[in-house]
Structure 1
Amino acid sequence: MKDTTFSSTRLLELYDRISDAEDAIPRLRRFVLDLAVRGKLVEQDAADEPAAELLKRIAQEKARLLKAGEIGKFKARDQISHGDLAFAIPPPWRPAFVEAVLNELQTGPFGSSLHQSDYCLGGIPVINPASLQDGRIVPIEKMAVDITTLERLASFKLRPGDIVLARRGEMGRCAIVTENEAGWLCGTGSLILRPSTFLCARFLVLVIGSPFGREYLGSSSIGSTMQNLNQSILLNLPFGLPPLAEQHRIVAKVDELMALCDQLEQARAGREAVRDRLTTASLARLTAPETDAEAFQSHARFALQSLPTLTTRPDQIKTLRQTILNLAVRGKLVAQDAADEPAAELLKRFKAGKDALKKETGDARIRLAPDAKREGYPLDLPLGWEVQSFENLFLFIDYRGNTPPKTEGGVPLITAKNVRMGALNREPREYISEQTFEKWMTRGFPRLGDLFFTTEAPLANVCLNDIEEPFALAQRVICFQPYATIDTRYLMLALTSEVMQALIDGQATGMTAKGIKAAKLKPLPIPLPPLAEQHRIVAKVDALMTLCDQLEASLTTTAATRSKLLNALLHEALEPAAETADA
């Protein structure tokens, strides 16, 4: 007889070909279970008692228990055939419904019998779906009852060998009750399965938790928001029943292969952790305060050579993007040019612009304010750079207080929901009437290129205004309107950097939803390079962000390709077993 087993060696060979796929190990686990319930995981043995004889013994046991009044009778079902199964099974196997191998099936107590007030700390554990984790029963401290409640619900006590199955939420979660959990209470969201003593209960657990079992229960369950499983659905689950001896061999083989998957998972996690540490260290060296110009160039070369290899997940791209912004606001992204007009000259024009606007309008919001000090900014800055406060850079245009009444159409209303980090999104679209617009927009009108800033929910999202038609601003959004010409795209990049976000967050208040008051925001310092360098920084960030986009797209494409390869390889691994089994 040819060897039809799926060995550890074969699994390792398969893993070597698909290890780069993100979901390789979970897919391998499902694949092993799929082979198990199809009769393609271990070799059949002609010396085994056929499954047909096993079904007879199970039926005899049930008849004896029924006659003795120890169990109830299930509703009669139609005869099952091979055609009721979703796949072919080996000749020694027989098709069966779950009902055929259960002595009892019991639903946990209803909510009218087990109330929230019955729960206590330190009592006897109650096993609800949340307690069923990775094929094990894990007690939850707050889900327990005292001895009085346990005895009142004594018919729902768990016995060794029972199977507890979740009947709500994710289908297929189940576990076998051991001596340790004997006497615990089945909860309202669970079912108690008592299989025949002639059945390997662990094999039934594999069937229920297999891709086929989960799919059948999930597609048959009821409920739109949360799936619910009733007894009838479970009892009608068709499956292939192997000889008892083969059931035990299957369970042993699954244990062996799952243990190997655990080892592969740990090795993969270790590899990813090393990658993360290397990536973090490479990027951290670029932004370390003590890094001098020569060391920075060396670190930058290493990062550029290493990051394409180290970067394998989209979340790592996010870190790379933030590093680019951090370098930008530290003056380390582009070279300084001694010919550039110093930022101090730029600040003089801002002061003149602010004074002129105050003289022209008499706006009470424009007040004399001290210049920001370099000491208030947490990082060293290059020669020619300056810092200045929000208040001395911008006129604050905001609309605090009530939200204006909204209409189906009219003048667009820009709210905090439209201000995303780095981009203005017109969705969701909201409007106010023209009459409300005239009464509402009394504190100034945003101009193209002005900055929008959210003060709360979410805090400190920043984007540029690119809207040409008239619109209104809602509360929780501030328009920063510069007093003089500046590259507002640079300012947007600066405000989205980690250092500026940290400064803003440090002045915010609130527990559940942080917010910042304008008075706390106004004195905060913003790093300012010479205007010409601002333009160079923006151009360099654009180029690098484009590379990040390409890398991210490449990862997405690679992930899709790996997923297709994984599907093909798993199919290929299954087919030889099928051919051999049919030979």
Structure 2
Amino acid sequence: MMELLQQHFDTAFAAPDGIKKLRELILTLAMQGKLVAQDPNDPPASELLKQIEAEKQRLHASPSSPRRRGSSQSKPLPPIRPEEMPYELPQGWEWVRINEICHDWGQKIPNAKFTYIDVGAIDNKLGTISPSTQILDATDAPSRARKIVKQGTVIYSTVRPYLLNIAILENEYDPEPIASTAFAVLHPFASVSARFIYHYLRSPIFIRYVENTQKGVAYPAINDGDFFNGLFPLSPLPEQHRIVAKIDQLMAKCNELEALRKAREEKRRTVHAAAIKQLLDTTSSFPQACPRADGEQESSSSKESDLRSPSTREQTYRGDGVSAHGWNFIQQHFDELYTVKENVAELRKTILQLAVMGCLVPQDPNDPPVSELLKQIEAEKQRLHASSSPRRRGSSGLKDLDSRFRGNDGIKTKSLPPIKPEEVPYELPKGWEWVSLEDVSEKIHYGYTASADHSNQKVRLLRITDIQDNKVDWETVPGCNARKEEVAQYLLADNDILIARTGGTVGKSFLVKGINVDAVFASYLIRVVPSIHMDVRYIKYFAEGPLYWRQLYAACSGTGQPNVNGTSLSQLLLALPPLPEQHRIVAKIDQLMALCDRLEQQIDAATGKQTELLNAVMAAV
């Protein structure tokens, strides 16, 4: 059995949760008597029970024994029914109740300085108690500081037991230790190993028992009665020691595997990050490294090999050997680097950053310059300003179209000053310009203040929480008590971009598409209405990339609850290419994001197969 188990360490190493499952298997086999060989010369568990009973009698007869004061573990135990036994034990083992193999030390109210052991002092991975436990005066004793514990005692947190806050008091404490009443206290009799008990309490067998017995959902707990009524597989004492030694040996190997996997994944992330950094740093320092139109036309049909092929690398980074080196490294090690989702996520960020640096598609000298685009945008703004009704909204009642911010705060801002050279993050390709988000938007303003009303669906109220993974299920969006004509200026339309302005989702954006209901947006959202002369998806991709997030975080106020206001949002710098190039960039991003989707699907499929293989191996063992 052990040879078979050790043969599959590599399988466990490959699967995403393989080492965790391997630990569970080790403990399961141990508690089934399958981890080490039985020795017919070992005294059977029935002899241990006789020794335990004799020790109980001695403790009970002792004047200082807590058992004379009425321990919670001293109640008569019900006989074990056959249907309670999870599996058949090897010869020489016996099923007993936990209460039969241990005792407690009673409780007391501290009357002098003491060492307080609460649940927070447990290292649930190592099964140890923090060396920095509290030493308290009796007058400062918490009401839960009651349970007496000693060296060799096993403590088990019965509150939220899924956290496995279990430990052995390996050392003596001065002043005396007192544990929280959140613990079940198990001091083993001399014929039982404390570490064998510890490993059993962490085994899948006992965990399943607790899960089936505990009460509560949000804050589950198992009471002492049910805990001590649980079954325990009592093996001969020499075999307990052999089992514990073998568990410790195999768990140490699991630790080594975990450390090796962590180091390998960290190295992969570090190497990938270094290659990406070199790529971005050299590209921003050498704009000539970015693609340029020189007679080659980029194919509109993409294959998954685009990012891997040398031809793509040469086209994308022609003109600078240093930049090409970073991309060359990624291309050569593509299959190794992109086997973890963290690196795919970084690749997505890099694509978005290269896009706004002008390094994702070639520039075309025949494109009209951005200066012409800005003139068109400004002319449209002036036309809207002079118009009596807003474009695309189809409603009356919207006044002061030049007010860029509207809502609870009533914010209005003056025209933004010109962008200074020292403010720009990097040099742009010829034909591009740095602009503010306001420069390319018809309007930026806060949402409508109202309470959600699920009984009124005439006008829906879109909230931050209704936006999940860049999607909205409009059927679940509540209504609000407002007449349509009162909220005309807040009605959503296709191509609106909504941005969360507060809380944990601050900065997250949503592009409205295919809306077929009357809906307004809540006051914790900011709407950006892009100019009709912009590719709205270029702005949306900008709002997902590193350049946007660096600026947004810098503009946020507050620490516990970060916020960004409309003024700061309007001043974010945007790298603006000509409109035809915007379309080409969006098409290329779509193509490369689809590749990233496929990479993640491949990772999921590979890890799924590894998990299936591991499960099959575990079942065979």
| CA distance 1:562–1:492, shift in 2 (3 Å) | same
What letter corresponds to residue 159 of structure 1 in structure 2?
A: K
Secondary structure at 1:207 match in 2: helix
Q: 1:320 aligns with which of 341, 347, 351?
A: 347
Mark the runs of 5 or more structure 2 residues left unpaired by the alignment.
290-316, 389-399, 405-413
Q: Does 1:454 align with 2:500?
A: yes
Describe the shift of the 1:250–1:81 C-alpha distance in structure 2 as closer, same or farther (beyond 3 A).
Answer: farther
C-alpha displacement at 1:402, in angstroms? 3.4
| Preserved contact between residue 447 and residue 490 of structure 2 (Cα < 8 Å) | no
- Specify which of 169, 175, 179 is matched with residue 177 of structure 1: 169
Q: Distance in 1 between matches of 2:275 and 2:183?
A: 50
For the residues of structure 2 that align with 1:151 and 1:392, how far apart are their CA atoms?
61
| Residue matched to 1:365 | 403
How much has 1:405 moved relative to structure 2?
Answer: 6.7
Q: 2 CA distance for matches of 1:342 and 1:527?
A: 13
Equivalent residue letter for 2:103: N
Query: Compared with structure 1, are the counterparts of its residues 137 and 497 closer, same or farther at alpha carbon in structure 2 (3 Å cutoff)?
Result: same
Deviations 1:418-477 (A, max 9, x none): 4557555537502134x5221122x46554223222322332222222224432232132
Equivalents in 2 of 1:46, 1:268: separation in Å?
40
Pairing 1:83-98 to 2, within 5 Å after superposition = 84-98=84-98
Are 1:131 and 1:138, in contact at CA under 8 Å, matched by a contact in 2?
A: yes
Distance in 2 between the 1:152 and 1:486 partners?
65
Find the counterpart in structure 2 of residue 124 from structure 1. Answer: 115
Secondary structure of the residue aligned to 1:417 is helix
Q: Report SS of the residue matched to 2:232.
A: strand
Letter in 2 for 1:347: L
Q: What is aligned with 1:51?
A: 45
CA 1:384 to 1:549, structure 2 compared with 1: closer, same or farther past 3 Å?
same
Q: Which residue of 2 aligns with 1:388?
A: 435
What residue is the counterpart of 1:559 in the other structure? Answer: 607
Q: 1:490 aligns with which of 533, 538, 542?
A: 538
CA distance in 2, matches of 1:444, 1:244: 75
1:294-316 deviations in whole A, cap 9, x for unaligned?
33344334323423322233333
SS at match of 2:273: helix
Matches within 5 A, 1:236-385: 236-288=229-281, 289-290=284-285, 292=289, 293=317, 294=320, 295-361=322-388, 363-365=401-403, 368-373=415-420, 375-385=422-432
Task: Give the corresponding residue for 1:512.
Answer: 560
Counterpart of 1:211 (choices 204, 211, 215) is 204
Amino acid of the residue matched to residue 176 of structure 1? I
Q: What secondary structure, in the 3-state scheme, does the structure 1 residue paired with 2:483 have? A: helix
Do the aligned partners of 1:343 and 1:386 also contact (CA within 8 Å) in 2?
yes
User: Are the structure 2 counterparts of residues 317 and 232 from structure 1 closer, same or farther at C-alpha, using a change threshold of 3 Å?
Assistant: same
Residue 236 of structure 1 and its aligned partner are, at CA, apart by: 1.9
Deviations along 1:35-69, one digit per CA (max 9) or x if unpaired, are 11111111111111111111111112212322445
Q: Following TM superposition, by how much is the alpha carbon of 1:150 offset from its aligned partner in structure 2, in angstroms?
A: 6.6
Q: CA deviation at 1:328?
A: 0.8
One-letter amino acid matched to 1:79: P
Residue pair 1:150, 1:185 contacting (<8 A) in 2 also: no
Alignment CA distance shift 1:531-1:155 (3 Å): closer
Match of 1:533 among 571, 581, 585: 581
Which residue is equivalent to 2:461?
413
Q: Secondary structure at the match of 1:479?
A: strand
1:479 paired to 2:527: yes
User: Does the C-alpha gap of structure 1 residues 390 and 39 become closer, same or farther in structure 2, counting only changes over 3 Å?
Assistant: same
Distance change in 2, residues 1:305/1:41 (3 Å):
same
User: CA 1:449–1:504 in 2, change beyond 3 Å: closer, same or farther?
Assistant: same
Per the alignment, residue 77 of structure 2 pairs with: 77
Change (3 A) 1:260 1:473: closer
Residue identity matched to 1:480: V
Distance of 2:452 and 2:120 partners within structure 1:
46
State the match for 2:159 in structure 1. 168
- Cα shift at 1:155: 6.8
Cα deviation for residue 478 of structure 1 reads 2.7
Instruction: Report deviation, 1:569.
Output: 0.9
In 1, distance between residues paired with 2:331 and 2:143? 68
2:13/2:257 contact within 8 Å kept:
no
User: Hey, what's the Cα distance between the residues in 2 that align with 1:515 and 1:270?
Assistant: 37
Cα distance between partner residues in 2 of 1:147 and 1:568: 56
Higher alpha-carbon deviation: 70-79 or 257-266: 70-79
**Number of corresponding residues:** 556
Check whether the contact 2:48–2:236 (CA below 8 A) recurs between aligned residues.
yes
Q: What is the identity, as a one-letter code, of the residue corresponding to 2:265?
A: E
Normalising by structure 1, what TM-score? 0.87
After superposition, the CA RMSD in angstroms is 3.0
1:544 Cα deviation after fit: 0.9
- Percent identity (aligned): 28
Q: Which moved more, 1:403-412 or 1:224-233?
A: 403-412
Q: 2:149 matched to 1:158?
A: yes
1:22 aligns with 2:16: yes
Alignment partner, residue 437 of structure 1: 484
What per-residue deviation string (whole Å, max 9, x for no partner) do you get for residues 246-286 of structure 1?
11111111111111211111111111111111121222222
Say if 2:156 and 2:183, in contact at 8 Å, map to a contact too: yes
Change (3 A) 1:530 1:160: same
Higher mean C-alpha deviation, range 127-136 or range 179-188: 127-136
2:394 match: none
